[in-house]
Structure 1
Amino acid sequence: MSESLPLFPLHAVLVPGAALGLRIFEPRYLDLVRDCGRSGSGFGVCLIAEGEEAGRAAMPMAWGTEARIEDFDTGPDGLLHLRLRGERRFRVLRTRVRDSGLVVADVDWRDPDPSAELQPQHALLGEVLRRIFDRLGEADVRIPEPRFDDAAWVGWRLAELLPLSLPQRQQLLQEDDPDLRLDELLRLLS
């Protein structure tokens, strides 16, 4: 069963658990943030398949992640600044554009990742992630309770933190199996 979800197409890929900073200035997105604040709901973030972030409605990729607003402030530039956190993944079934230019999609929510231990063939990835965390320090990584033995968590954190291209990150977002996601990360690192 599909559900309607407003979308915010970006030149970025948000993965579950990842943080994303966003500056809001267009009326359609200011309205979106206001509506989300009133209802306590999130909105979808999708990589732009065609178009730009500002101006006319951009065509989103068919996979995205629900974003929840964690914090907001007015920046020195006078614009609304948001800190988002990625939650559930979804697949876009169809889209429509409102008169305001806001893209709304009917989405199919993907099942949450199963809780599974990191397999021996992926142990190197857990160690790579530990070293990234050591280098960044806790102030730069705002992730509660590290779970270095959880296959899905390790995969999403690496997808968030490694210097991957947008198509590579998008491919990881579209993979339902945490172990296959880790296999792809191993391939990308080699």
Structure 2
Amino acid sequence: MTEIPLFPLSSALVPYGYMPLQIFEQRYLDMVAACMRTGTGFGVVWLRQGSEVSGGSQTTPDVGDYGTHARITDFDQLPNGLLGITIRGEERFDIAEVWRDPSGLIRSRVSMEGPLEPAPMTDEWRSLEVVLRGLESHPHIQRMNLTIDYNNAWEVAFNLIQLLPFDESIKYELLGMATLNELIVELDILLNQISGEEG
């Protein structure tokens, strides 16, 4: 078991996925400063409902059973004066216990799954690569400066999940899938639904 600080969000973060965040609460400014000083990361967990406080009690926000360890890849002061950071998802974890420390920061004991072993792309999955390369050409996504290994099927699938406008509850369910094949089958179904809606 490992103890880590948590950042509960209404959005789900998946391994290899990139996400920009605005940091303004003091407890999270302190958390980010500590992570950058020590070279560590923090856990991102999906809030099932409401805000961090209203979604649960003062001590136990209503978060998912699992999440993704995040690493800060970039930071900057935004035009509005707030701290902007970009995080990238790393390994998944299962949550054993959640509490709020005296500063108000949410902390947790978690079981890390370990890094995903890279999996080669197969010809039947190349359609996912085509969709992701198309997304990368959009100006908004180009500004994120993504670094994607297109030979790793996990990385292609999870970047698609992070970038596409799926409901966050769906992203959370996809994050929990046990095998790459199961993940890609479900992702393919969702992509067909999107193309059907647009067609």
Q: TM-score range by the shorter chain?
A: 0.7 to 0.9
Q: What stretches of structure 2 of length at least 5 have no aligned partner?
A: 193-199
Say what the alpha-carbon RMSD is for the aligned residues.
Answer: 2.2
Instruction: Measure the CA separation in 2 of the matches of 1:34 and 1:141.
Output: 22
The corresponding residue for 1:16 is 15
Work out the CA distance in 2 between the residues paired with 1:148 and 1:127: 10
Deviation string 1:57-113 (CA, Å, 9 cap, x unpaired) is 633211111111222222222222212121121111111111222111111111322
The answer to whether the 8 Å contact 2:52/2:62 transfers is no
Structure 2 letter corresponding to 1:180: E
Give the Å deviation of 1:20: 1.3
Structure 1 residues 72 and 140, CA gap change in structure 2 (3 angstroms): closer
Give me the TM-score of the superposition, normalised by structure 1: 0.87
TM-score (norm 2): 0.83
Structure 1 residues 131, 37: closer, same or farther in 2, change over 3 A?
Answer: closer
Deviation at 1:54, TM superposition (A): 6.9
Secondary structure of 1:85's aligned partner? strand
Q: State the partner residue of 2:87.
A: 84
CA distance in 2, matches of 1:114, 1:84: 21
State how far apart, in whole Å, the 1-side matches of 2:140 and 2:80 are: 28
Match status 1:188 vs 2:185: no
The DSSP-based 3-state class of the residue aligned with 1:68 is strand
Match of 1:167 among 166, 169, 174: 169
Partner of 1:25: 24
Worse-matched range after superposition: 111-120 or 61-70: 111-120
Question: What's the % identity of the aligned pairs?
Answer: 35
Q: 1:50 to 1:139 in 2, by over 3 A?
A: closer
Whether 2:123 is the aligned partner of 1:124: answer: no
What is the CA–CA distance in structure 2 between the aligned matches of 1:68 and 1:148, rounded to whole Å?
Answer: 21
SS in 2 for 1:149: coil
Q: Find out whether 1:153 has 2:152 as its counterpart.
A: no
What stretches of structure 1 move > 6 A for 4+ residues in a row?
none
Larger mean CA deviation between 59-68 and 39-48 belongs to: 59-68
